[in-house]
Chain A
Amino acid sequence: MVWESALVAKLKGQFGSGVEALTYLGQNYLQVDRSLIPNILQILRDEEQFDYCVDVTAVHYPKRERQFDVLWILYSFARNERVRVKTQIAEGEHIPSAVSIWPTANWLEREAYDMFGIQFVGHPELKRILLPDGWKGHPLRKDYGIIQQDQEWVQINLGIESGQ
């Protein structure tokens, strides 16, 4: 379903066809072209009062050409409204970091990097957060098995044959 509002009209007027506004089950989201991401996020915060970045995460679609959906879930205290900003990137593609816009994106982007291997450009310190620093692989990708582990890391650091 198409989402129509003043905000959408404004963004469409500014960015044209790069922005697609949709709604599903009453929740609005913007499908945005990757190149527009920093501008749109900046505008959402500065001009549209989306001052609270709830979450930054990703979804992996291995069958798609551009494998990853990266999402920003935003909330505005003034409007009491949530919006999701979505973009698609391919494996190995970079995406600008939102840390300068919302400091909270710091750890959230680190987690997305940790779990999906998405490179956020401009992040002050992009490194693993939940998994140990030397770990290989990004577990939330669909091609990473549920019982798969970095056996080499386990053997070196824990001194056991297998972590299973």
Chain B
Amino acid sequence: MEPVATTFFFYLLSGLAILSGVLVITRKNPVHSALALILTLLCLAGLYLMLYAPFVAGVQIILYVGGIMVLFLFVIMLVNLERSQKEKQFNQQWVPGILAAVALGALFVTIYIKGGALFVRPEIRFPEAENTQQVGQMLYSNYMFPFEIASLLLLVAIIGAVVMAKKKI
């Protein structure tokens, strides 16, 4: 099936993503920030869908929105908001923030201008229907080793978290 109104949805989703991204760093209330972050992630998932990557989109929703953000909210709710608002905030560092933003923006602009020559515009080789299978095959053939390394890393992280959280094991 041919996609409908691609441009419209692209600008809608990216606009929403940027807007909610701004909300994430401007809201005082952490719960509101987290909700805006969820919106950003959902918009990204939509963009992945438009890139013919439904698997990545699905995983984005399951892992980031359904899993990680829930745990985020979980922690935020347990933390005493009133007391945390009185404590010193980290987002007051204007100068380094602006410097980082300018550097990143410069990078983007450079890539936009010179990128066409650097990266070959890829053909869309996989139609939508086979994307998931392709991802699976890639993960278990070409990228087997990095994939397993990543899972090992996650295991280490889990054990580390348990060790840090438990007062005595």
In the complex, is A directly touching B at CB under 8 Å? no
